[in-house]
A and B are shown apart, each in its own frame.
Chain A
Amino acid sequence: MSYKAALRVWRGDDGQGELADYTVEVNDGEVVLDVLHRLQATQAGDLAIRWNCKAGKCGSCSMEINGRPGLACMTRMSTFEPAETLTITPLRTFPVIRDLVTDVSFNYAKAREIPSFTPDPSIGLGEFRMQQVDVQRSQEFRKCIECYLCQNTCHVIRDHPENEREFAGPRFLMRIAELEMHPADEADRREIAQDDFGLGLCNITKCCTEVCPENIKITDNALIPLKERVVGRKYDPLTWLGSKIGRRPQHDTPAVPARKA
């Protein structure tokens, strides 16, 4: 079965643009990305879209569909009524480059400020020994496909660009949690999580968790436990030493300066 869908797609570049109306054929079983590709191939050859895998694995095709942030390649057309007009807009939190493509460099900058994995340098190749139960927590966070839908949704920065400097967003607070829970990591990022990456600004609304296409329990499994650890570190460092006992440095590893200090 095929039908013609009415689409309103945001066209334009940073600052200027408008919703353009199109009518595009839709076939059985298609996803939003297929319909955008048909639009591109037949009516709007220069329509800017990001995508790679078409299978929810690369996190490229994030956009807002009727105002809901999601992956275009995993949003099936059958979830909409054929008569419904679909409004497709770029992620709201990030500056638009063109059409549905946004500038997500904020995320790469934040990633670079978090002190990297820091193992005991004396462990040789092939000598790491870690139990499955101990790696499992961080493995959940490493399912992240960096679609930045959580970053786009979190209200701390969604309409507050002024918070971007002091708030890393759920994806990167989760990265800190991942490293903190990594059984072979020796650095301590609890204080900087709070002071430099804005963990305190998160008020556990769980909106990030709701949009995560990988179904990662960002708030429950990463952010709340990280908050608990920060409290432990600030008031009673002995309450949380876990597997890292004896190897913890006295002070936090400092955040990495983004540019010349």
Chain B
Amino acid sequence: MAMTDIERLPYDVVVIGAGGSGLRAAIEARQAGKKTAIISKSLFGKAHTVMAEGGCAASMGNANPNDNWQVHFRDTMRGGKFLNNWRMAELHAKEAPDRVWELEAWGALFDRTKEGKISQRNFGGHEYPRLAHVGDRTGLEIIRTLQQRVVALQQQDAVEHGDPEAMIKVFAETTVTRLILDAGRIAGAFGYVRGTGQFLLFEAPAVVLATGGIGKSYKVTSNSWEYTGDGHALALLAGASLLNMEFVQLHPTGMIWPPSVKGILVTESVRGDGGVLRNSEGKRFMFNYVPDVFRAQYAETEDEADRWYTDPDHNRRPPELLPRDEVARSINSEVKAGRGTEHGGVFLDIASRRPADYILQRLPSMYHQFKELADVDITKEPMEIGPTCHYVMGGVEVDPDTQAASVPGLYAAGEVSGGMHGSNRLGGNSLSDLLVFGRRAGQAASEHVDSVSGARPAVGQAALDEAVTEALAPLERSGGENPYEVHAALQQLMTDQVGLIRNEGELQSALSELEKLRARVAQVSVEGGRAYNPGWHLAQDLRNMMLVSDCVAQSALERQESRGGHTREDYPEMSPTWRQVNLVCTVRGEDQVALARQPMIPMRGDLLGLFEVNELKKYLTEGELAGVSAGSAAAPEETR
């Protein structure tokens, strides 16, 4: 194979990503009769979606008949502190039930209610039991079902066309490094096969980004190696914009010891089932951290908090069950005050509070996880935990109905897209997001293909040559820096200075450190050849992590308020005027991130009318509130 041999592959729709959103988009495109490629960095069926545990939120009303899309919509907006793209939150709430039921028709086996319907469980921020689930492996069930649906379509094609891959083909272990444009429109995607290093050019007028998140820019994360923000960077480099990248969710309870497991998630249910947080002095410190807005709902004494578990009607909730961002910040303050554990976290204790058989029955996988990986018996000892980088709310700015980015032919769905979750995502709302917007993106991409059928964009030689040169550069340099070391430096920087608690000084320092790192990234060189060479792969991913980190840091510096997944110690309040502002990043040239403020589109009157005015007062400006009474008088558009 010559160094620059490129295999050309003509397709209608190219989906980058084989997680829940990518597979759902690809299924939709193939069902619309489009020749579809699915590209994935890892093997088919192993994308991040496989790791999701808790469940998939959809207001099917199986557990509580009072649930409906309006309630789900309200919960989602509250969770996101009203910064959500409200149209996406609306579509999501309305369509999630159908998307879950559809999985059932494709063979998924969710846990059942007594009536034989899909069982639904309680989760933080959801008013009613709403999460469809399979034990604590819901993501596995969803990805496997979608994978098997792709296979079922391929079997139909085998019969019809004599080739199972005639209409939908999976390119596993293949990485896309560039989107290629023709006169500002999508013309294709360039990448390499990880196993061989072979270059591929997908020639297609429509590309759906479904590449997931960015957690690998941080040192402590629940995310895998795949989460290097590739889709975010591909979009930027193609001329599209990223929305509100400052919002990064840190889950309060990740494992911290031993080092091998640092960042792995410890489910919220531990606290729901009676677990409490203690500092190194053995004190239940969360009582000191209840913010004024929540004071009415949370217990002030341990006795009251403990009574809540058996009598929630007459007692207030334990403060350990405050929203994720509040708990994560409190843990951080305790550690900073010198009351942390030996390994820099706090204790999550259920052993002293519940009998062993209860723990084993309620939390089997947590028992297993700590026993196998940490040698800790959670029925006898407390767990050591600390915040872990979990999810990015920010992402590619898209049209809420079609998931179209600003570049014609480009779509984004799932974690890589922005807007849906506002400043903070509720548990369970990601899996449903993947299904709802994956389908919409696949549909819109197919329609786009029809609209260009006469004059398809073409890939020019110059763009292709540049992509090849860029990909080969780290192999051709020698004596440069080790990509693993540069990556570790970036992770340390982002964790230390653009982490949970931010301030102007640190953010400014982070930006200048990023500038220095950029020079180091440009000098990275790798040993070995092109066949399955993780060093080479990482060297290419560094470009993406740098761009994304720059966007996160710049947006975090710009937004002078604290909201959801963005906490500024120098601006600790949530500000109604900042709620009206979206921060949008684009890239000039190859690596200059430019930031702009963009007004938030006011929420439709019938949706505003779903809230009490008193609640809206916490979020909206005086000016906005003046218009509310008129809005809420309008009858809701739809009541289903």
Residues of A near B48 (CB, < 8 A) are: 52
Quick one: which of B90-117 are within 8 Å of A by CB? 97-98, 101-102, 104-107, 109, 111-112, 115-117
Please state if B46 and A135 are interface contacts (CB–CB under 8 Å): no
Q: How far is the CA of A46 from the CA of B532 in the complex (A)?
A: 8
A53 contacts B51, CB within 8 Å? yes
Point out the residue from B43, B44, B140, B374 that lies within 8 Å of A50, measured CB to CB: B43
- How many angstroms between the C-alpha atoms of A70 and B68 in the bound complex? 45
How many residues of chain B get a CB closer than 8 Å to chain A's CBs? 70
Minimum CB–CB distance for B534 against chain A, Å: 6
Contact A48 B526 (CB under 8 A): no
Interface bits B242-278 vs A (CB < 8 Å: 1, else 0):
0000000000000001111100100000000000000
Query: In the bound complex, how far is the Cα of B195 from the Cα of A249, in angstroms?
Result: 43
Contact yes or no, A112 B151, CB < 8 A: yes
Seed contacts A29-B259, A99-B532, A143-B140; 4 additional CB < 8 Å A-B pairs? A27-B260, A34-B259, A48-B532, A131-B112
Interface residues of A in 125-166 (CB under 8 A from B): 125-126, 128-132, 135, 138-139, 142-143, 145-146
Partner of B526, one of A29, A45, A59, A139: A45
Complex interface: chain A residues within 8 A of B261 (CB): 29, 54-55
Q: Are B484 and A48 in contact, with the CB atoms below 8 A?
A: no
Given known A-B contacts A97-B195, A256-B158, A259-B163, A52 and B225 have beta carbons under 8 A apart? yes
Interface string of A223-261 (1 = CB under 8 A from B): 000000000000000000000000000000000111111
Q: Is A192 an interface residue (CB 8 A)?
A: no
By a beta-carbon cutoff of 8 Å, the part of chain B in contact with chain A is 42-46, 48, 50-51, 60, 97-98, 101-102, 104-107, 109, 111-112, 115-117, 119, 134-135, 137, 140-141, 144, 148, 151-152, 154-155, 158-159, 162-164, 195, 224-226, 257-261, 264, 369, 372-375, 482-485, 488, 526-529, 531-536
A76 contacts which of B373, B485, B488 (Cβ < 8 Å)?
A: B373
Contacts of B483 in A (CB 8 A): 45
Report the separation of the CA atoms of residues A34 and B259 in the bound assembly, to the nearest whole angstrom: 9
Can you spell out 8 A-B residue pairs with CB atoms less than 8 angstroms apart? A45-B483, A45-B526, A46-B529, A53-B224, A55-B264, A76-B372, A116-B155, A129-B116
Give the Cβ gap from A17 to chain B, nearest Cβ, in Å: 12
Interface of A, secondary structure class, is loop
State in angstroms the CA–CA spacing of A34 and B116 once bound together. 44
CB pair B112–A143 under 8 Å, yes or no, is: no
| A-chain residues with CB within 8 Å of residue B374 when the two chains form the complex | 29
Of all chain B residues, the one with the shortest Cβ separation from A51 is B225
A interface residues (Cβ-Cβ under 8 A, vs B): 13, 27-31, 33-34, 40-42, 45-60, 74, 76, 78, 97-99, 101, 103-104, 108, 111-112, 115-117, 119, 123, 125-126, 128-132, 135, 138-139, 142-143, 145-146, 179, 182, 185, 256-261
Interface centre among A49, A126, A138, by most chain B C-beta atoms within 10 angstroms, is A126
> Residues of B contacting A258 with CB < 8 Å?
158, 164
Contacts of B140 in A (CB 8 A): 57, 142-143, 145
